[in-house]
Chain A
Amino acid sequence: MRHHFIAILTMLLTACAATFSSAFEIEDHAIFGDDKSEQRLRILSTADIEFFAPMISSYLSATPEIQIDYTVASSTEVMRAIYDEGASFDLVISSAMDLQTKLANDGYALTHVPSSLPSLPDWAVWNDMVFAFTQEPAAVVISKADFAGHPVPSTRQELIAALRRDPERFYGRIGTYDVRNSGLGYLFATQDARTSETYWRLTEVMGALDAQLYCCSSDMIDDVESGKLAIAYNVLGSYAAGRGETDRLETVLLSDFTTVMLRTVLIPRTTDQPELATAFIDHMLDRTYGNGPTPLQNASPDISITDAALHRIRLGPGLLVFLDQFKSRSFLSEWESAILQ
């Protein structure tokens, strides 16, 4: 996933889409099922093909006569495609909950009442437009080698203390999202800042230790694995767990609070296959909230939901607040002054 977030955000909010004449940028593309079929479901998604393919396969195993056209783009490109260019897709899947909410709020999504609604938790649906199908925590990934003989920090306070105790070891070896470019990083950062003031202290400490800024979780995990980074903060837990058992990495869910992102799906207004789209959404929700495990790896919505430390981001108009240009400008300037020292 590539997030060229802030440029698009500015574009959105100043409503001068006309300056962007080119079509949105595609990262990957795949076709599943019967490629001769007239029934074609077009999905625009921020999720990697490997991540989402099991869900598509599970659907096609029951209805093989359908062709599924899967396009991968960054969350800002997805927004640009739907919001500005009016591109025609049947489903939009994104990890940027705020942008999905904005699409729905501003009338770019169709309503649908899923057949499995009774078992659908309240937090997983907004306005019958946006449906969550994963819960993915923001984790800290540490390199085991660097913490050999040291206690693994389990809260932000302990993390700050560890960084301050041994600044030489961590200087230049801390990674986190560049929230100016990453939609998901911006979402995590704003939610962290909303939850606790500790976030700003941590950001300042990381800034003082010359934190490295990344566009995506996978790059951070790669660098921790290679030993280039000692700590990566706010990494998608599902991606980290996707690396499987390794003796170089350890994934930590901080116990003071852990922000949990919901990956969501909606039906854009531009769909020309609304029946296919609703059938696919029903299938996704059924596989997610019905009996049996979801086909998506490490994205189970069952992570101990009752845990008070888990801060599940709530779908709703609150997410529009940090998309406001005034709000984002002041947030970004505060973030920059903390991280760029």
Chain B
Amino acid sequence: MSEPVAQGSLRRNLTVMLLLGAVGLALLVYFIVQSVAREIAQESQDNVLAASAISILDSARVVEGEITIDFPYASLSMLDTVTNERVFYAIRRDGRFLTGYEDLPLPTEPATAATQFASDTFLGEPIRIATARRGLSSDAGASTLEVSVAQTLSGMTQTLARISRISMFVGGGFFLLAALLAVLISRATIRPLDRLAASVARRGPKDLRPVAAPIPMEMVPLVRSLNNFMSRLQRSLSRSEEFIAEAAHRVRTPLAIVRTKAEITLRRVEKQENREAIRDMIRAIDESSRTAGQLLDHAMVTFRADHLLDEDVDLAALTQDTIESLRPVSELKEMEITAEIRGTPHLRGDAILLQNALRNVLDNAIKYTPAGSTLSVTLHETDDQAVVTVQDNGPGFPKDDIDGLRYRFARGGNAAGTIGSGLGLTIVEDVVTAHGGRLTLSNTEGSGACVTISLPS
């Protein structure tokens, strides 16, 4: 089977995309928090400056035609309450300087709002200036009083640094949270796929049932195709098994008739060479009918193994019965079968299959060992296993490919001249595996082949 070609990972792609989104959003949050907070900070500084300028403006009065400006102490001290700030102011009347700092920059834009704000530099320090105006009428006529108040930005700088730090924390925290969510989300999204893969991988080699567990909508087409595929495979498998069984069955009956006719004919034929030919014919017919039988057995085993019975099996009685049923065959070859049964092992399984398997082992042993040899069958129990051993004193298995004999239609290199289908050990293997047991083939030095069946009891 070729390995699937993996390219990329859904989970990784999903995580990376979500993380990229998180980075983008975190940056957005950082800049939004920063700009909003900056604006608010600037606004509050402007408000204080405006309050200061307006309080100076409000203190201006015309007394006996002269302007007096008795501005309150707080108008300047309020600018220094939180952080130490240098403060500058200028009071102008109709653009003419009255008092304060004459060089303080004038507002560059024409007045639109009641209070104007500007950022500038004065005495080498960056400052923020608020300028407010008010009409004033005296005996000399109407005039405009203009008050500019400026302060340095050390508090603002501190505030901005704090804002920067806070928005960094907010953005960073947002990113961490989003990253965590990204990992969790991608994992949760992929989980049904993992679950499906695991449930399919967990199945036995012959479990072709459709996937029934609930799955997300997006996976329905995939699972539908998978189920469809598996049911087609199932149908195709069972059809071929049925076909083999049917074919074997159909072949067996005519073969039996042909064999009977051949034997009748053999009795009538006198000529030696014709008798030989008919004997060859009978042997060939035997071989064909045996193959047909085993194909049937195999089909049965395959079917029953798929739907294994779970009944109590008395292995001792079963072994004894099987040996007895084969005695007529063994006696034909003048072979002796000894049985040594220790204990009364019981197990759960299908008695018919187990008997079939054991019969195949014994049948093989009888067939492949020379006439007059001895077969010894032992049955004993270990802690959790029942072990059946069939030992002969024949030529043993071919040394180079013992395990290859398990496969369908494989025959030993030393089996030529013996009637056989190559299905016997395959059947045994299937039955034993279906019961969760193990089939071991080995040669015992100097004393033939040994077949061991271990079954969990």
Using a CB–CB cutoff of 8 Å, the interface residues on chain A facing chain B are 13, 15, 104-107, 125-128, 194, 314, 316-318, 320-322, 324-327, 329-330
- A324:B80 contact, CB within 8 angstroms: no
> Smallest Cβ distance from A268 to chain B, in angstroms?
15
Chain B residues near A314: list those with CB within 8 A: 77
Using a CB–CB cutoff of 8 Å, the interface residues on chain B facing chain A are 68-77, 79-80, 84-88, 91, 98-102, 123-125, 151, 154
> Smallest Cβ distance from B136 to chain A, in angstroms?
14
Identify which of A107, A325, A326, A327 contacts B125 (C-beta below 8 A). Answer: A107
Identify which of B70, B88, B124 contacts A327 (C-beta below 8 A). Answer: B70
Chain A residues near B102: list those with CB within 8 A: 15
For chain B, what secondary structure do more than half of its interface residues adopt (helix, strand, loop), or is it mixed? mixed
- B73:A318 contact, CB within 8 angstroms: yes
Assess A316 versus B80: contact at CB under 8 Å? Given A104-B86, A321-B73, A326-B99.
yes
Q: How far is the CA of A211 from the CA of B436 in the complex (A)?
A: 124
Which of B76, B98, B102 has the most CB atoms of chain A within a 10 A radius of its CB?
B76
- B71:A324 contact, CB within 8 angstroms: yes
- B123:A317 contact, CB within 8 angstroms: no
- B76:A330 contact, CB within 8 angstroms: no
> Smallest Cβ distance from A331 to chain B, in angstroms?
8
- B99:A324 contact, CB within 8 angstroms: yes
Chain A residues near B80: list those with CB within 8 A: 316-318
Q: How far is the CA of A320 from the CA of B151 in the complex (A)?
A: 13
Instruction: Apart from A127-B154, A316-B80, A317-B85, list 16 A-B contacts with CB within 8 A.
Output: A13-B99, A107-B124, A127-B84, A127-B86, A316-B84, A317-B76, A317-B151, A318-B74, A320-B76, A320-B87, A321-B76, A324-B69, A325-B99, A326-B91, A327-B70, A330-B70
Assess A126 versus B84: contact at CB under 8 Å? Given A13-B99, A326-B68.
yes
Identify which of B75, B123, B151 contacts A106 (C-beta below 8 A). Answer: B123
Chain A residues near B76: list those with CB within 8 A: 317-318, 320-321
- A317:B100 contact, CB within 8 angstroms: no
Chain B residues near A13: list those with CB within 8 A: 99
Name the CB-closest residue of A to B70: A330
Chain A residues near B91: list those with CB within 8 A: 326
Q: How far is the CA of A222 from the CA of B98 in the complex (A)?
A: 42
Name the CB-closest residue of B to A193: B73
Chain B residues near A128: list those with CB within 8 A: 84
Q: How far is the CA of A106 from the CA of B75 in the complex (A)?
A: 18
> Smallest Cβ distance from B11 to chain A, in angstroms?
53
Q: How far is the CA of A125 from the CA of B84 in the complex (A)?
A: 9
Q: How far is the CA of A327 from the CA of B99 in the complex (A)?
A: 10
Which of B77, B84, B100, B124 has the most CB atoms of chain A within a 10 A radius of its CB?
B84
Name the CB-closest residue of A to B78: A318
Chain A residues near B69: list those with CB within 8 A: 324, 326-327
Name the CB-closest residue of A to B60: A326
Name the CB-closest residue of A to B154: A127
7 A-B pairs with C-beta separation under 8 A: A105-B86, A125-B84, A127-B84, A194-B73, A317-B151, A326-B71, A326-B98
Assess A327 versus B77: contact at CB under 8 Å? Given A106-B123, A127-B86, A316-B84.
no
The 4 A-B residue pairs with the shortest CB-CB distance in the complex, in nearest-first order: A318-B77, A317-B87, A316-B80, A107-B123
Assess A326 versus B70: contact at CB under 8 Å? Given A13-B99, A316-B77.
yes
- B86:A317 contact, CB within 8 angstroms: yes
Q: How far is the CA of A49 from the CA of B151 in the complex (A)?
A: 37
> Smallest Cβ distance from B226 to chain A, in angstroms?
74
Chain B residues near A330: list those with CB within 8 A: 68, 70
> Smallest Cβ distance from B390 to chain A, in angstroms?
97
Q: How far is the CA of A326 from the CA of B76 in the complex (A)?
A: 15
Q: How far is the CA of A106 from the CA of B88 in the complex (A)?
A: 8
Name the CB-closest residue of B to A190: B73
Chain A residues near B154: list those with CB within 8 A: 127
Chain B residues near A324: list those with CB within 8 A: 69, 71, 99-100
Chain A residues near B125: list those with CB within 8 A: 107
Q: How far is the CA of A320 from the CA of B80 in the complex (A)?
A: 12
Name the CB-closest residue of B to A126: B84
Q: How far is the CA of A194 from the CA of B71 in the complex (A)?
A: 12
> Smallest Cβ distance from B282 to chain A, in angstroms?
118
- A321:B75 contact, CB within 8 angstroms: yes
